Structure 1
Amino acid sequence: MLTASFTSLILPGIGTGGFLKTALGIVFGFAFMAFIERLLPHEHAYMGQEGILRLKVRRLTLLVIGITIHNIPEGLSAGISTAYSSKEGLATAIAISIQDIPEGLVVSLPIYALTGGTSFAIALGFLSGLVEAFFLLLDTSL
């Protein structure tokens, strides 16, 4: 994602909107993701659980939250690419979608193994990816 961000998003962003707008977008993106990290519960191997919302959650819930948070910048990336060029946006969305399949399985399979509920597991996997579509649409509407 780092290489794709640089070559497909940052360089075209500088070419289209200029360095200042692109730099501000990157800074606001980092600030937004830092806010989300501070707010939502998560766990580090060396620091334990963190997050303002001190919820008693299982590690599986932390995994689902982590994958969902991971989908936010992917949706923003696809939205930015689409705003720059429909062709680039489609290529970015397809590339991200391909790697979203294993991410959906990472969410769905452990839930299925614990609950045995196929519908619930598929629904949570789908909803974790739906966040990406929401941020794609949010980004293209701005």
Structure 2
Amino acid sequence: MFEQKIQAISPIILALIAGIFTWFMTALGASMVLMIKRVNQKIFDLALGFAAGVMIAASFWSLLQPAIEMSEKLNIVSWLPPAVGFILGAIFLRLFDMIIPHLHLQSPIHEAEGLKVSLRRSTLLVLAVTLHNIPEGLAIGVSFGAHALKPEDVSLISSVVLAFGIGIQNIPEGFAISIPLRAEGFSRLKSFSVGQISGIVEPIFAVVGVLMVEVMQNLLPYALGFAAGAMIFITAEELIPESQKKGNSDIATAGLIIGFTLMMILDVAFK
């Protein structure tokens, strides 16, 4: 009965609520700066690895696997739509990566990427995390939109678990942006405010994801693959390299394994 009431709600509203939840989790992580100024590098790298593991697992079980199952019902090569969508999603994020000025968390300012503009290091750091949050919002929106169109292929609980998993890994992301800001001289309150605002794009792009699915109803497997490709691009481009940059590769890898396993269990157990 409760699930039927939830399913009666517009997928746009559900995706928006899920996106706000993940934004809140980013703010929760950023709030740690109100209590501490620095975090142990090993813990920091463990958290980044954990986030990477969650992203990889979510990309497959919540997005690519449903895309493959849908494709099998279309009497076409089952791997083609998710593969094409996956590549397009990665290309889409690569274009964003080339255009939006940003700086990876543990990099010197001369390694800033994107268009060359005169921005403060703190602004570039926030733009990097904001760029990271775009595919997460898209993935949430695409999942809820896919459930509305094909509930037999994408269950409501699967979409909820995806949002929950992304929310969990947003906690370390929140403090990953707020702690460096504090170390650079920002006040605790300003570090928190700037850190949490990077998550605002998630509810926005969650709605965009639903609208994209509604426009691409006949291309749903491509849309799911697209969201997965965008997420994997960010994971490989940013999270994994950042987690291993300071020499804690074993710890970062352990975090990735833990994050992947947790997300796999959540997705499979509650599907």
Tell me, in whole angstroms, the C-alpha distance in 2 between the residues paired with 1:50 and 1:98: 27
Please report how far the alpha carbon of residue 116 of structure 1 lies from its aligned counterpart in structure 2 after TM superposition. Answer: 1.5
Aligned to 1:34: 94
Whether the 8 Å CA contact 1:41–1:62 is kept in 2: the answer is: yes
Paired amino acid for 2:70: T
Q: Answer 1 or 2: which has greater strand percent.
A: 1
Aligned counterpart for 2:156 among listed residues 82, 86, 91: 86
Unaligned runs of 5+ in 1: none
Aligned to 2:132: 70
Cα deviation digits, residues 36-70 of structure 1 (max 9, x gap): 1110224586983332x211233332221111111
Percent of paired sites with the same residue: 39
- The number of residue pairs the alignment matches comes to 140
Question: Which has the larger Rg?
Answer: 2
Unaligned runs of 5+ in 2: 1-54, 72-77, 147-153, 213-271
Q: How does 1:45-60 map to 2 (within 5 A)?
A: 48-51=111-114, 53-60=115-122
Tell me, in whole angstroms, the C-alpha distance in 2 between the residues paired with 1:33 and 1:39: 10
Paired amino acid for 2:187: G
Greater mean alpha carbon deviation, residues 105-114 or residues 9-18? 105-114
Whether the 8 Å CA contact 2:138–2:205 is kept in 1: the answer is: yes
Whether the 8 Å CA contact 1:80–1:89 is kept in 2: the answer is: no
Give the secondary structure class of the aligned counterpart of 1:115.
Answer: coil
CA RMSD of aligned residues (A): 2.5
Tell me, in whole angstroms, the C-alpha distance in 2 between the residues paired with 1:123 and 1:86: 32
TM-score, with structure 2 as normaliser: 0.46
TM-score, with structure 1 as normaliser: 0.81
Please report how far the alpha carbon of residue 10 of structure 1 lies from its aligned counterpart in structure 2 after TM superposition. Answer: 0.5
Greater mean alpha carbon deviation, residues 19-28 or residues 41-50? 41-50
Aligned to 1:97: 167
Q: Which has the higher contact order (CA 8 A, sep 6+)?
A: 2
Please report how far the alpha carbon of residue 16 of structure 1 lies from its aligned counterpart in structure 2 after TM superposition. Answer: 1.7
